[in-house]
Amino acid sequence: MALPRDLSIGFSPQEIQFLIENEPIRIMPRITTRKTKKQLAKDPGAQWSLITCDDSTVNNMVAMNSCEVTLWLALLLKQQGKCNIVVPSWLTLQQLEKYLEFELKNPSRFSNLPWNWLVVSSLLFARCSDDFQDPVHLLRSKVQDLREVRLGKVNKGLQYLNESHLQLENLSLMEINEMRPYACGIMDKLRTIHDSSNDTT
Amino acid sequence: MSIDIDDILAELDRDTTAVEQNASSYPDQSDRTQGNDVSQIRPADKVVDPVVPMQFNKIDDYQRLVTHWKNERMSPELLPYPHHLMTRTLIRIQERIELIETLSMGYLEDNQELTVDSKLPLLCMEAELERLKFLVRSFIRCRLSKIDKYSIYLRQQSELPNNAGLSRLDLLMSKEEVKYHMKHSDILLKLFNNAILKHLPEELQAVNDTEGSISMIDEPDWNKTVFILVCGGVVDESGVDSKLTTDDDGKPCYSVIIEDLNEEIYLLIGAVYVIRYSVIRDLMTEGRVVLI
């Protein structure tokens, strides 16, 4: 088939990452791309022109003035050593601790972490570990704790699968994608059983 | 309300010879939401910057392509092909390839100090192009696999008298996809006929038999379970969403009814649901919910 079978039931983790790399993030550029009118007249130089995102911000970067760009661009610049990534405010020890506390206090609810938290945290840990204020190994273990607590809740929530519908609150894209094949399969089967029992009566 | 921007597209098309104009007069649902401001912005933009057409629109276009891709990947049926959107995207990709080539030629000629700094925009542009190409490729491949799967069903649909024949197929698929659909099912049919079917009794030779114990036509599973994100935000002329209601707590939501179970569900804006496809199909085509 034109599409591999494992891709037809859900997204691959790489595709989830692709989707999330389209979201904006704040960076501290280390290069200046903004040009004065004089410079522009003398030598326009290499201009950025992007077709999928806003190119005016990258053309107006001033070193150490924070600006917002898409995540994939930020990672590319970081790889070249041209910027520092400003870590999102939820990715600090203090904030993660609050989330964890909430998770432990409310066994039936998920805390409102941003819906890209798993991907963003793993990307940032891998690619810009020097930009964090807090020690990365502590952050990593906190994220791991959160992940495990939430996984436990997801597993517990699976008992509520039914033939009509389900509402999920604050579940991240990656977590949804993980439970998709199982949840969809079970709900499809439950529905078939329900329908056929209705037909006979 | 569909805004006709064919003349603008045609004018753009004259500059780029390589891209075939295949969306002539198809109404395109996906263009409805943003259609209004496109027509207002376009003429001025074209004069200012002929190299990068549709500058005001490109980010929206990309976002819409991503949405189309997500919906196509997760929906059980083949969704209508976004003709205008794809034409614009293909034109942009073509222009981008040319621009990158011209720029890298410039680097070769100047032969000055090639610092990393001056190469950086080029690097990013190439990376971006690859991302966009991946998206388009994945989108098309997903559609092709669905065309494979439902080829007999699609053929049967296009032959129904009330569907006005082939015009429906044209709306649903691009020219190339129609060609693929026709050729591929012909080849497959020939293989089946030569290998097995011609040895069977005549009444068992049809490949689209629905009378027997099992229907041979694979129809999309309309009740497949899908994950949706309710995004809302589609407003009509008067600035309100006509389908929006409020639930018991007064929060804005859409109300849908599952007929088999006789159950009413409120879909809150911004929430994620696991629900059967047939229930939310209309909301999805209108762009009020997105499959994830």
**Residues 6+ away with beta carbon under 8 Å from B181:** B147, B151, B154, B155, B169, B173
B54 has a pLDDT exceeding 70: no
For residues B151 and B16, the model is more confident at B151
**Residue B247 confidence (pLDDT):** 67
In whole angstroms, give the CA distance from residue B126 to residue B119: 11
Residues in chain B: 292
In whole angstroms, give the CA distance from residue B266 to residue B103: 53
CA dist B74 to A69, B97, B158, B170, Å?
Answer: 29, 31, 24, 22
**Residue B162 confidence (pLDDT):** 65
**Residue A42 confidence (pLDDT):** 66
**Residue B53 confidence (pLDDT):** 45
Q: What is the pLDDT of residues B126-139, one digit of tens each?
A: 999 999 999 999 99
Q: What is the pLDDT of residues A106-124, one digit of tens each?
A: 988 888 888 899 999 999 9
In whole angstroms, give the CA distance from residue A108 to residue A169: 11
| Residue contact B274–A48, C-beta within 8 A | no
Asked if B142 reaches chain A (Cβ–Cβ under 8 Å), the answer is yes
Which residues in A lie closer than 8 A to residue B274 (C-beta atoms)?
Answer: 165-168, 183-184, 187
Which residues in B lie closer than 8 A to residue A3 (C-beta atoms)?
Answer: 141-142, 144-145
Q: How far is A25 from chain B (nearest CA, A)?
A: 16
Q: What is the pLDDT of residues B187-224, one digit of tens each?
A: 999 999 999 988 988 888 888 877 777 788 887 888 89
Residue B115 binned pLDDT confidence (cut-offs 50, 70, 90):
low
Do B260 and B213 form a contact (C-beta atoms < 8 A)?
Answer: no
- Provide ipTM, 2 decimals: 0.90
For residues B51 and A9, the model is more confident at A9
In whole angstroms, give the CA distance from residue A112 to residue A172: 9
Q: How far is B211 from chain A (nearest CA, A)?
A: 20
**Residue B220 confidence (pLDDT):** 82
**Residue B17 confidence (pLDDT):** 44
Report phi then psi at B235, rounded to 5: -120, 150
Which residues in A lie closer than 8 A to residue B261 (C-beta atoms)?
Answer: 163-164, 194
Which residues in A lie closer than 8 A to residue B141 (C-beta atoms)?
Answer: 2-3
**Half-sphere exposure at residue B178, Cβ-oriented, CA atoms within 13 angstroms:** 14
**What strands lie across the sheet with B263-268, from one edge to the other?**
B244-246, B252-258, B263-268
From the list B118, B227, B274, the residue facing A46 with the nearest CB is B118
| Residue contact B128–A50, C-beta within 8 A | yes
B167 has a pLDDT exceeding 60: no
**Nearest chain A residue (CA) to B257:** A164
Joined tokens for residue A146: 């959160």
Which residues in A lie closer than 8 A to residue B276 (C-beta atoms)?
Answer: 164-165, 191
For residues B96-125, give the mean pLDDT. Answer: 75
DSSP A45-107: -PPP--SSS--HHHHT--TT--EEEEHHHHHHHHHTT-EEEPPPTTSSHHHHHHHHHHHHH-T
**Residue B248 confidence (pLDDT):** 67
Q: Please, is B198 exposed, middle or buried when counting C-beta atoms within 10 Å of its C-beta (0-12, 13-18, 19+)?
A: exposed
Q: What is the pLDDT of residues A1-27, one digit of tens each?
A: 778 888 888 899 999 999 999 999 999
For residues A37-53, give the mean pLDDT. Answer: 69
Q: How far is A62 from chain B (nearest CA, A)?
A: 14
**Residue B258 confidence (pLDDT):** 77
For residues A160 and A46, the model is more confident at A160
Q: What is the pLDDT of residues B11-33, one digit of tens each?
A: 776 655 444 434 333 334 444 43
Which element (helix H / strand E) includes B246? Answer: strand B244-246
Report DSSP state, residue B202.
G
The model's pTM? 0.82
For residues A155-170, give the mean pLDDT. Answer: 85
A101 has a pLDDT exceeding 90: yes
**Nearest chain B residue (CA) to A8:** B73
| Residue contact B227–A72, C-beta within 8 A | no
Label residue B239 left, alpha or beta by phi (over 0 means left) and psi (-120 to 50 means alpha). Answer: left
Q: Report the percent of chain A where pLDDT is more than 90.
A: 43
Asked if B225 reaches chain A (Cβ–Cβ under 8 Å), the answer is yes
Sign of the Cα torsion A84, A90, A93, A95 reads positive
| Residue contact B124–A50, C-beta within 8 A | yes
